[in-house]
């Protein structure tokens, strides 16, 4: 019986605590002419929509954009992780190369090695040193 009265607009309008009503309160339908009800199944009239129909696509589009934004952030985070890992690996390789080159430089500058290399090439220590100066500069003793 309540469904029939509700379909005619005669049932008192109680608002549920869980319903979302974004519109101003609706006016009750006036019974007016009973011919409007002939052949109509008033029992299947569902409750009125509480959310306007034009908001549903907006919510859907907003949800899609939010999902895309979250996905973009996650992809960027993963990409930055890979870049960080490759930068750390490159840094380790460069540090190893620097260590090897520093050791090689110390080996090449070793005075004992230079002395043996000079002897192999037939070089000897000079018995005197001649100091040359540019014109206008004084010679130091």
Q: What is the number of structural domains in the chain?
A: 2
Asked, for residue 131, whether it belongs to a domain, the answer is no
Q: Model confidence at 141, in pLDDT bands (50, 70, 90)? A: low
Q: Are 58 and 45 within one domain?
A: no
Asked, for residue 46, whether it belongs to a domain, the answer is yes
- Looking at 17, 35, 51, the residue that finishes a domain is 51
pLDDT at residue 136, as a whole number: 73
CA distance 6 to 12: 8
Average pLDDT, integer, range 93-112: 96
Q: Are 42 and 70 within one domain?
A: no
SS3 content of the chain, % helix, strand, coil (to 5): 55, 0, 45
Average pLDDT, integer, range 27-53: 65
Asked, for residue 63, whether it belongs to a domain, the answer is yes
- The lowest-confidence range among 68-72, 86-90, 119-123 is 119-123
Q: Are 108 and 60 within one domain?
A: yes
Q: Are 27 and 63 within one domain?
A: no
Asked, for residue 125, whether it belongs to a domain, the answer is no
Q: Are 66 and 86 within one domain?
A: yes
CA distance 27 to 7: 14
Q: Model confidence at 37, in pLDDT bands (50, 70, 90)? A: low
User: pLDDT tens-digit profile of 47-72?
Assistant: 666 778 888 899 999 999 999 999 99
Single out the residue of 88, 74, 6, 18 nearest to residue 42, CA to CA. Answer: 6
């Amino acid at each position: 019986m309540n469904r029939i009265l509700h379909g005619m607009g005669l049932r008192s309008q109680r608002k549920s605590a869980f319903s979302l009503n974004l519109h101003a309160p609706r006016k009750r339908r006036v019974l007016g002419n009973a011919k409007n009800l002939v052949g109509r199944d008033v029992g299947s009239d569902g409750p009125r929509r509480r959310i306007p129909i034009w908001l549903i696509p907006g919510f859907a589009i907003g949800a899609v954009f939010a999902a895309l934004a979250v996905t973009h952030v996650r992809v960027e985070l993963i990409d930055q992780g890979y870049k960080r890992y490759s930068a750390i690996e490159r840094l380790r390789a460069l540090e190893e190369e620097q260590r090897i080159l520093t050791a090689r430089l110390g080996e090449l500058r070793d005075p004992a090695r230079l002395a043996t290399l000079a002897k192999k090439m037939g070089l000897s220590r000079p018995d005197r040193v001649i100091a040359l100066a540019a014109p206008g500069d004084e010679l130091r003793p």
